[in-house]
Amino acid sequence: MNKGFFEVKSVAECRDILASFEPVADTEDISSDQALDRVAAGDILAGEDIPGFNRSSMDGFALRAGDSFGAGEGTPVYLELKARMAVDEAPQWTLGPRECAQVLTGGSLPPGADAVVMWEHVREIAEDEVEIFRAVSPGENVMLQGEDCQWNQTVVPDGTRLRPQELGVLSALGILRTTVRRRPRVAILSTGDELVPVQETPPAGKIRDVNSSTLAAWCVKAGCIPEPMGIIPDRLDDLHQGVSAAVQKADCVLLSGGSSLGARDLSIEVISGLDQGRVLVHGVAMSPGKPTILAAAGRVPIIGLPGQVTSAQVVMYVLGLPFLAHLSGVSGALEQKAQARLRARAGRNIPSQQGREDYVRVRLLRSDHERLLAEPVLAKSGLLRSLLRADGLLPIPASCEGVRAGEECEVLLL
């Protein structure tokens, strides 16, 4: 049996390998009000202009902008007040030169008008005459027809995860149903003779299975449907059966534990023995998380995660979440900049080994000068609560020996 990591791959190489898996192709037609966080399958086009008519974005007086030119505090322009319009009125007449109409925020502009002067800059001097004290340019304080989006324009591109913002656009367009990708099903297996289900009190020498629940939760965060398949003892035939069943029912398999090189580390052997099983990566140049496996059985991806509870979560965050987003059909999910990050200065020197990418747990604090500081969380790496105290992960590239206090770095937000 192979007793060394095959060839340790960088995180970037792993992303490229993961990108070669096809996203879930099936689609579902769902009610748009159920579409939050789902991924658009195909471009969504506007069936009409938004706004559908020229609208005022202020309470004020609609006019032809040219008529206000030259108006100022001491040099008002006089216009005829043609109408006072209700907010939902659609005027059938056209505003002529040197005329204006009172409009409300959101209301229609009469045809002919191309700008609105806010009411603060207008004085009514007679029932049908106003003074304008401020010049406006064409388009000022109005939303023109089609300015938000135009008929037939793509408003939501294929592969977009739908946020409240996107749902608002669908509402404006009256798009009641949306075609989205099916959510990937992710089978989760924990391996280890020492594990008991969380419902049980572990006898001496055993511990509760933490990874099934954390990995399931990370899957939900990634927009997938977790299928926890329980604990499998460190026995080749049990593992073979469990992983084969997982491959049958899921779009992706997460296998935690047994991914390293020890006597009880059977993941590589199990995967190699699957129908069309192949190991793509054994060992990633990252810390924590080196004993990570990327593999496949036929077309189904398998990620072998280290059993160690914090390493498993860091790998899940760094590779698992982008990959599950990719499987979900999110475009660009595996690109390096896809995850939320911000820039901060290292609060102290952080040493790092060359040759591997370190993911340092950091807290974000404000310095006296209102600068954002990333302070490493000082704790043994395997302690679960170190992740509770971390706001983010600070990646230190494989080529660096560390970062110096005050150096600017990127922090991935947890």
H/E run at residue 368: none
CA distance 280 to 271: 11
- 228 token code pair: 């926890």
Q: Is 119 helix (H, G, I), strand (E, B) or coil?
A: helix
* Terminal C-alpha separation, the chain: 38
**Binding test (CB under 6 A) with ligand AMP, winner from 13, 28, 158, 194:** 194
In the complex, minimum distance from the CB of residue 318 to Mg ion, in angstroms, rounded to a whole number: 21
Interaction of residue 257 with Mg ion, rule CB under 5 A: yes
Q: Does 190 bind ligand AMP (CB under 6 A)?
A: yes
Residue from 307, 320, 392, 395 that binds Mg ion (CB under 5 A)?
A: 307
287 binds, among Mg ion, ligand AMP, none (CB under 5 to 8 A by kind): none
Query: 399: buried, middle or exposed (CB in 10 Å: 19+, 13-18, 0-12)?
Result: exposed
211 binds ligand AMP (CB under 6 A): yes
Helix, strand, or coil (residue 5): coil
E strands within 113-224?
115-118, 122-126, 129-132, 142-143, 154-156, 177-181, 185-191, 195-196, 207-208
Question: Whole-number minimum distance, CB 357 to ligand AMP, in Å?
Answer: 20
Q: CA triplet 174, 177, 183: central angle to 5 degrees?
A: 140
From the list ligand AMP, Mg ion, none, partner contacted by residue 211 (C-beta under 5 to 8 A by kind): ligand AMP
Closest separation between CB of residue 265 and ligand AMP, Å?
6
Task: Determine contact, residues 103/56, Cβ cutoff 8 Å.
Answer: yes
Say how many residues make up the chain.
414
> Which one of Mg ion, ligand AMP, none interacts with residue 8, CB within 5 to 8 A by kind?
none
Q: Which is nearer to ligand AMP, 109 or 387 (CB)?
A: 387
Shortest Å distance, C-beta 147 to ligand AMP: 54
Q: If you search the block for the tokens 């660096």, which residue do you land on?
A: 400
Instruction: Pick what 360 binds: ligand AMP, Mg ion, none; C-beta below 5 to 8 Å, kind-dependent.
Output: none
> Residue 195, interface with ligand AMP (CB under 6 A)?
yes
Q: Which residues are near ligand AMP by CB under 6 A?
A: 190, 192, 194-195, 207, 209-211, 256-260, 306-309
Which residues of this chain interact with Mg ion, rule CB under 5 A?
192, 257-258, 307
